[in-house]
Structure 1
């Protein structure tokens, strides 16, 4: 609901104000700098605006509650068409997104009443109620916003499919599309002192970390024949198609994305320059072991928490390491096949790490990090739209949905990425390891 997002945004603004005051307080209770005062005033003004908006929403909700009427989503007739109170159906995570997408596709996505009727007829009263109460999307130029709870379910399903999410990246709420917080720029300082001796500065050196929602759009064509026969099972297939499209792009962008005003920055371009290491030439047991040790030490020496550490590599590099043998023919890293770890840390393999880099087109990259320091700012708001006249890119070929008797479902989710500490990960470049 809007009021939930407004309250979350208000809390974020107040948190930013407190962070500015804390920084000054921890620095011998000094006054705010001119820059800090400007930022504080900006957050204060936004907080006051949001507070007023929350008040308006609370008033509106109270009035709506006193004049509430049941929503009719069925056909005409005495006693028919009203969504009754019922026990909430137990659904698999993300399935509601598939159901809503099918209801949009089946009715063209322009008449909410028709969409709700279809949802009720095919999937039951609960889905009909949800579709009937959906809000239209404004910031994504059309479509409908999926309820936050179901959007969270859907985004949660991306975790096992996106390697950095799966390795422990932190997902933080960004309901209004913006988030400012503190990030670590240097290690913590501490020391022992005698009686009545001023305490040393113990806070870590910090800077500002800003995230602004970037729009990820996925297009999934579905045959109209399948839509006409939509039933239980088809909704799960549509959900999975939408998930696959979003996950592939997230995986690529979170790892190697260059970053721009419209796309998030990947860890490859967020890591400190000193933590980007070059592979030692002539790969053999000694140089490979050395390179792996250099990577883990680069992170450990930065004094990061080491909470959710792991490796990200291409399938080719994983196969090389799994088959590496010593002079006696023994497997050097048996844990790779035994439990999917390397040097005690979890391995995630993905084709989103390419093997065709470098001048010779035969180089790859290897990543190691404490992925709890990688932040994904999620708006937790999925928007869906459908069209049977849209065109889409199919591997470089532009296809028309109308000509193919298809409907294209468009999914939009918004997020951004940051590293809380740019030395929390290390990248090995120029990797030519191959089995």
Structure 2
């Protein structure tokens, strides 16, 4: 069923309540029972929507996800609620009272904007997706602030709005799209739309090349709980000079701004190793973290910082290093046996070895109660294993 309308009827809503929380193993029995009283297509649609809601809980929380309506692509591509709320807060701080949300999807960003008190025009050209956005605005009591329009975003006049937010589609028939000009709409179109607005935010993939960022934009990489979620190109922020780069970590937010520092020096392995947050690495701000830690790099091409001092920082995870070995699986296996290691965490940067493969070979079975983290990396160009534990 490619139409949400039947699920929005009293019968459809009752079915959604009836199948809420159904475990995959129980779906057949539940479907068989419900089809005695309801159309088979409606039962299947309700069960499918229940599965999507369960998947969406990680992004939207159980309470909201349990009331919202989703498409498979909508669950996959929508913005995590915490990230959308942060972006809405930034727009609110700019004095934005209205936003044209172009390529709105199922409405995740529109919901966050409306909850921040911002009036939203939410536009998507796909009929089912636009219907989901409209249903979500209604389900969450935000229909008074969100107008959903089914249209091609390139045909929409945004001059009446304080800001434009564009979230181009970055997936195609073959999966993720890495070329910004292959987005739908292309990044160049989104940039032109941004330049015409007083304020704008363009959501792009975190892997966007820095050279693809327009000179007048501020580029921000955002992580949530240590996972990099997206990059945003900001226009008209008034709070940062064009070309500013920053990394923002959620929850928090904690923001690290670039200062144009040169690459850190390479130094010998110190007592502590720091693993910068992924947003810091994507934003090319490892030098700023190294300066804060009075540290250097293990290798000129590897984003691990080392220092003899332990300094707290939200922008990197600290590990105390206990051993340094040239890459040798047999030596590592013997050392783990000697240390009675039962839990082995493998991290890598600058190594072709797969962590799971090393874990299987070095620790085929637990040796005891202790835990060790091993870093597969390079030190001054040489393949190296560093052993330690989180501080």
TM-score range, shorter chain: under 0.3
Q: Which has the larger radius of gyration?
A: 1
Q: Which has the higher contact order (CA 8 A, sep 6+)?
A: 1
Calculate the TM-score normalised by the size of structure 1.
Answer: 0.25
Structure ranking higher in strand proportion: 2
